[in-house]
Amino acid sequence: MKYLICGAGGFIGGHLVKNLMDEGHEIICADIKPKEFWFQIFDKNTNYSLDLKDYQNCRKVCEQDIDFVYNMACNMGGMGFIENNKAECMLSVLINTNLLRACTEFKIKKYLFSSSACVYNANKQKKSFVEGLKEEDAYPADPEDGYGWEKLFSERMCRHFNEDFGIDTKIVRYHNVYGPLGTYDGGREKAPAALCRKIAMAKINNFKNIEVWGDGEQTRSFMYIDDCITGTKRIFNHNKNEPYNLGSEEQVSINQMIEIIADIANYKVDKNYLLDKPKGARGRSSDNTKIFDSIKWKPEIKLIDGLTKTYKWIYNQIIQNKNNDKYTRNY
């Protein structure tokens, strides 16, 4: 088949491209970043560096007899980025809008939108170690300001394009994806990569403590990239046009994750809590009942195993003086 991967130069997008290539599909790749800053790029594909907020650019990549579209493109990062760039995050609604318009025009069969656990009602996330969030918990709507509202609105747009124009739209709500070949510095990194970097730097430089945003009692569940790709494709190939959680139910606090990474690194650190930094929801985890009942998917990679692979990759990047290259570019 012929796939268009939007956001192909990003973390999840790059891993998805590699997976689909290995299956023998033809891939058209698009990303706003200059190609030298894509996390993974493959010469055998057709690779476009362009802004998909522009409708004409969406037409350009969709007019090539595309069968399927994965929309992984958005302006986002960790909590520090999305809390301080709400307008920029919301502009990503133009990507989804114009891609759906182009898919309608060129009669593309199937479309996946990458949503987020940030769509969930904030009132259900005020305590540490909360119950896993179910898909219906997105309503009544009170999502993460900016980024979460953009994702929730874009989900509704997918639903209505399915109803009005017959596009087979799929929606996946990601819960904190992490792993190698992703951002770990520069302001857009998420907690697992940031903490792996901080502990690696402490070990390399013989520092005794690391900075922690908040009091460390915020809880999340974290999903390794390999599980993410497998689950994403399972949702894409399923026959339902409904949102699905894609995440782990292995909920941990930030303090607990620091201890896990410190054990992996064999280097203990003290914590310097920065209580004025962005912290996000107090507690958030995925309830996987729906996806398991419908698709029989569940994550296979334990947090300690995924963090071990991620820490080793980040540590090697740092000691090879690669911490200022494409993996940290601020796009």
Catalytic residue among 70, 111, 147, 178: 147
Question: How far apart are the C-alpha atoms of 81 and 181, rounded to whole Å?
Answer: 19
Q: What is the largest CA-CA distance in the chain?
A: 60
Q: How far apart are CA 215 and CA 150, in angstroms?
A: 28
Output the six-digit token pair for 110. Answer: 């199937």
Q: Under 8 Å CB-to-CB from 185, ≥6 apart: which residues?
A: 194, 197, 323, 324, 327, 328
User: Following CA atoms 160, 164, 170, 173 in sequence, which dihedral angle do they give, to the nearest 10 degrees?
Assistant: 0
Rounded Cα distance between 155 and 158, Å, is: 5
The residue type at 71? N
Whether 96 and 71 have beta carbons less than 8 Å apart is answered as yes
Nearest to 71 by CA among 166, 160, 3: 3
| 150: number of Cβ within 10 Å | 28
Q: How far is CA 41 from the centre of its chain?
A: 18
Active site includes 244? no
| C-alpha to C-alpha distances, 278 to 125, 217, 256, 282, nearest whole angstrom | 15, 13, 19, 11
State the virtual CA torsion across 191, 197, 201, 202 in degrees, nearest 10: 30
Residues with active-site annotation: 147
